[in-house]
């Protein structure tokens, strides 16, 4: 027998791993105490966490909730938090200058918001998607008030437009572009000539209305949510289209998309907000009343759509060319293959980036305080300008920060859930 | 195994005349003339960079040709998108890297195009898909995702996916090149079975055993030209051109 020849005669049965390598002890050893340097870092970190908590917990735990002013707090015990400012002003932080007797409206809008998001976030409940479609109109009506037919007419018009589209497709021509143009002409004629009469008519036979509230009264966390959620919902599809446009083979579309993305990304959001609040009026015909909140929403939407487009472009670039070729070779059209093959994958790759942009947008809504809209941060300054609470910092900002944190952390958690759910490679 | 030759008909499936293609200034395909009959099984071989993949990718317009004509199933390939989509739905293609849709299950991969392109009802599309998955011998993997399958299984799903469109012509672009040796056979067996069913096939491949066993005609390409074509027997035993002889000695020599 030669020296290198070897034959294994018996099979070795599997045995359990050593106790120090598995379970909790194994975890500790692997993650916290794997080397002397790692052990040192662990101990230093524990010390820092300890001193932060040692100072923070008594400060927050012993805080005053029921004093009348900051002075009173300081007289009682200057070393603990004075949360009384929240007790006194929480309504303002949530609703801004919204009329107190109408607080139920933003509250209901918020509850409906959560309900309307369920069908979108959890496909199991997709059968309730109709509510998510109705919600935007309902929210606008609840928040701004006035006659329900002001937004109702938009829904009626769009439904009739879709109906026209299907009718044309069935009866006149199979071409979707022609039918689309037909439906568009119908919409223009409807909104230019008929909608006013219809609204007047509906107002007479079914007068449902709420007291109107003007945009400048919107404020607090309500305003952050209005701007943030609308921006998120609107910037997502615009971002997808911009990303596709940037990849397009059609040079003019590509140029427009690249120009838009680079311009909007290259300008600070604050500049855009100033344009929205001040400069835009110069460009519009005199006497036009273009709602300030709407202007801000448009700017915030553009801003985050530009970022979104780049995030999604990253996802698109991450897909192998073979996916395009495979879907083309099966006879799928460009839009079918984008919708069914390319986008589901590109968006999945981009989830962390997309959610990052959403979170960024949501926090950027606090910048509207610069153009004197009363979001929570703007209100904090107003509150501190008041004699009673002059000099208070931590308590207000901790509370505002916590409110934002809850929403942003929620988004982050949802995105992680989504990533786990969409994982198909294991 | 004796080869079935009864399938070839007089009907022209693909007609290519004086076709030329350039990548920028690089002349990839030069004066290609090729007529493929319905039921015919063709193997295209040649050194890498010879333009064989580009040739079959021109047939379903994944690549655009600049000169000459390509007529597939009586429809000429022009810039008209309608014609392109029509031809693509009639011509199946299988790729080297499978290109399955990783976000869809095996079954959904197979039903996607029938549902959206052919507008087949979902239930019927699923029945067809299961039938095709049985044909490639992996019906039990229908509800798994491509990422959970082996390379050979993925490639067989890719073949089934193409078959679900009931194509009249199948193109195979080096379908075994990315596979581990032990998986090549299962894919080749599937292709042989398909060939025996009378499918019109054009296969770009280096599997010369497959070519001998299945092909009605072997085409050898070099530098963007069709250098030699013949029945496999004569092609392998009595190659005429020096370039063919050199190529065959290189791939069969070891």
pTM: 0.85
Q: How far is CA B94 from CA A135, A290, B169, B191, in A?
A: 46, 56, 11, 11
The rounded percent of chain A whose pLDDT value lies above 70 is 99
* Shortest CA gap A256–chain B (Å): 24
CB distance from A348 to chain B under 8 Å? Answer: yes
What pLDDT, on the 0 to 100 scale, is given for residue B116?
Answer: 93
pLDDT band at B3 (very low <50, low <70, confident <90, very high): low
A425 to chain B: closest CA residue: B147
What pLDDT, on the 0 to 100 scale, is given for residue A207?
Answer: 83
Contacts with B, A 295-334, CB within 8 Å: 320, 322-323, 325-333
Cα–Cα distance between A231 and A302 in angstroms, integer?
Answer: 8
Cα–Cα distance between A206 and A198 in angstroms, integer?
Answer: 12
Pick A425's closest partner by Cβ from B81, B147, B162: B147
Pick B88's closest partner by Cβ from A322, A323, A330: A330
CB distance from B169 to chain A under 8 Å? Answer: no
pLDDT band at A1 (very low <50, low <70, confident <90, very high): low
Q: What is the mean pLDDT of chain A?
A: 89
The pLDDT tens digits of the residues spanning B104-153 come to 999 999 999 999 999 999 999 999 999 999 999 999 999 999 999 999 99
pLDDT band at A384 (very low <50, low <70, confident <90, very high): confident
- A361 close to A367: Cβ distance less than 8 angstroms: no
Alpha helices, H only, A33-148: 36-61, 70-76, 84-95, 104-121, 129-144
CB distance from B92 to chain A under 8 Å? Answer: yes
Which of A249, A326, A327, A332 should we substitute to test contact with B (largest number of B Cβ atoms within 10 Å)? Answer: A326
What pLDDT, on the 0 to 100 scale, is given for residue A344?
Answer: 93
B147 to chain A: closest CA residue: A425
Domain ranges of chain A: 18-46, 81-98+215-426, 146-210
CA B116 to the chain's CA centroid: 23
What element of type H or E holds B37? Answer: strand B26-37
Q: Which residues of B touch A322 (CB under 8 A)?
A: 95, 97-99
What pLDDT, on the 0 to 100 scale, is given for residue B127?
Answer: 95
What backbone phi and psi angles, to 5 degrees, belong to A252?
A: -70, -45
What pLDDT, on the 0 to 100 scale, is given for residue A409?
Answer: 95
Cα–Cα distance between A211 and A219 in angstroms, integer?
Answer: 17
Quick check: B101 and A426 CB within 8 A?
A: no
Please calculate the CA angle B224-B71-A341 and round it to the nearest 5 degrees.
Answer: 85
A343 to chain B: closest CA residue: B103
Pick A329's closest partner by Cβ from B60, B97, B101: B60
- B17 close to B33: Cβ distance less than 8 angstroms: yes
pLDDT tops 70 at residue A295: yes
Domain A81-98+215-426: CATH superfamily, name plus number: MetI-like (1.10.3720.10)
The pLDDT tens digits of the residues spanning A19-60 come to 777 778 888 888 888 889 999 999 999 999 999 999 889 888
Q: What is the ipTM for the molecules in this complex?
A: 0.90
Pick B116's closest partner by Cβ from A340, A344, A426: A340
CB contacts < 8 Å between A and B, how many? 71
* Shortest CA gap B171–chain A (Å): 10
Pick B85's closest partner by Cβ from A333, A348, A422: A333
Kindly report the number of other CB atoms within 10 A of residue A228's CB atom: 26
Contacts with A, B 49-68, CB within 8 Å: 60, 62
pLDDT band at B6 (very low <50, low <70, confident <90, very high): low
Q: Among candidates B41, B33, B55, which has minimal Cα distance to B8?
A: B41
Cα–Cα distance between A355 and A121 in angstroms, integer?
Answer: 13
What pLDDT, on the 0 to 100 scale, is given for residue B1?
Answer: 46
Over residues A169-195, mean pLDDT: 84
B56 to chain A: closest CA residue: A329
* DSSP state, residue A277: I
């Amino acid at each position: 027998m030669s020296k290198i020849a070897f034959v294994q005669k018996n099979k070795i049965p599997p045995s359990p791993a050593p106790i120090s390598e598995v379970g909790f002890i194994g975890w500790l050893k692997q993650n916290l105490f794997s080397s002397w340097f790692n052990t040192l870092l662990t101990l230093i970190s524990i010390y820092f966490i300890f001193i932060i908590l040692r100072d923070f917990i008594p400060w927050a735990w012993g805080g005053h909730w029921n004093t009348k002013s900051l002075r009173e707090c300081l007289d009682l015990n200057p070393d603990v938090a004075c949360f009384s400012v929240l007790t006194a002003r929480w309504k303002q932080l949530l609703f801004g200058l919204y009329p107190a007797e109408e607080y139920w409206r933003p509250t209901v809008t918020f509850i409906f918001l959560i309900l309307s998001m369920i069908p979108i976030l959890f496909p199991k409940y997709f059968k309730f998607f109709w509510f998510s479609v109705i919600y935007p109109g309902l929210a606008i009506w609840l928040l701004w008030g006035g006659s329900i037919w002001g937004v109702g007419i938009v829904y009626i018009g769009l439904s009739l437009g879709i109906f026209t589209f299907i009718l044309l497709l069935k009866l006149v021509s199979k071409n979707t572009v022609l039918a689309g143009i037909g439906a568009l002409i119908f919409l223009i004629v409807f909104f230019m000539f008929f909608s006013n009469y219809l609204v007047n008519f509906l107002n007479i036979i079914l007068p449902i209305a709420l007291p109107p509230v003007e945009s400048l009264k919107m404020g607090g966390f309500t305003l952050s949510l209005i701007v943030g959620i609308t921006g998120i919902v609107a910037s997502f599809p615009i971002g997808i289209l911009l990303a596709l446009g940037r990849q397009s083979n059609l040079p003019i579309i590509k140029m427009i998309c690249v120009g838009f993305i680079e311009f909007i990304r290259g300008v600070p959001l604050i500049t855009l907000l100033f344009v929205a609040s001040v400069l835009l009026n110069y460009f519009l015909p005199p006497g036009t009343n273009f709602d300030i909140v709407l202007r801000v929403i448009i700017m915030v939407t553009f801003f985050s759509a530009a970022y979104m487009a780049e995030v999604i472009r990253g996802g698109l670039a991450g897909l192998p060319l073979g996916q395009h070729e495979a879907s083309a070779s099966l006879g799928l059209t460009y839009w079918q293959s984008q919708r069914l093959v390319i986008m589901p994958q590109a968006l999945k790759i981009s989830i962390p980036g997309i959610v990052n942009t959403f979170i960024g947008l949501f926090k950027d809504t606090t910048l509207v305080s610069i153009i004197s809209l009363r979001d929570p941060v703007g209100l904090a300054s107003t509150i501190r300008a008041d004699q009673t609470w002059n000099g208070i910092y931590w308590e207000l900002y901790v509370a505002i920060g916590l409110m934002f944190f809850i929403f942003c952390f929620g988004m982050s958690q949802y995105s992680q859930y989504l990533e786990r759910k969409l994982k198909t490679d294991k | 195994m004796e080869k079935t030759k009864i399938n070839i008909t007089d009907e022209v499936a693909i007609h290519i005349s004086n076709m030329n293609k350039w990548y920028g200034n690089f002349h990839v395909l030069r004066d290609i003339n090729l007529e493929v009959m319905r039921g015919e099984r063709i193997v295209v071989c040649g050194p890498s960079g010879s333009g064989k993949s580009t040739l079959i990718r021109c047939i379903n317009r994944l690549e655009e040709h600049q000169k000459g004509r390509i007529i597939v199933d009586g429809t000429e390939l022009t810039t008209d998108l309608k014609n392109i989509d029509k031809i693509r739905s009639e011509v199946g293609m299988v790729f080297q890297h499978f290109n399955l849709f990783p976000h869809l299950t095996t079954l959904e991969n197979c039903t996607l195009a029938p549902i959206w392109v052919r507008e087949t009802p979902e239930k019927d599309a699923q029945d067809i898909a299961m039938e095709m998955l049985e044909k490639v011998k992996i019906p039990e993997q229908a509800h798994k995702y491509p990422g959970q399958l082996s390379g050979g299984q993925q490639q067989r799903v890719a073949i089934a996916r193409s078959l679900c469109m009931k194509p009249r012509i199948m193109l195979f672009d080096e379908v075994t090149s990315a596979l581990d040796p032990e998986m090549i056979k299962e894919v080749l067996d599937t292709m042989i079975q398909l060939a025996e069913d009378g499918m019109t096939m054009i296969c770009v491949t280096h599997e010369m055993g497959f070519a001998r066993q299945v092909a009605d005609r072997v085409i050898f390409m070099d530098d963007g030209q069709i250098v030699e074509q013949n029945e496999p027997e004569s092609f392998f035993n009595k190659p005429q051109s020096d370039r063919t002889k050199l190529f065959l000695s290189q791939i069969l020599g070891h």
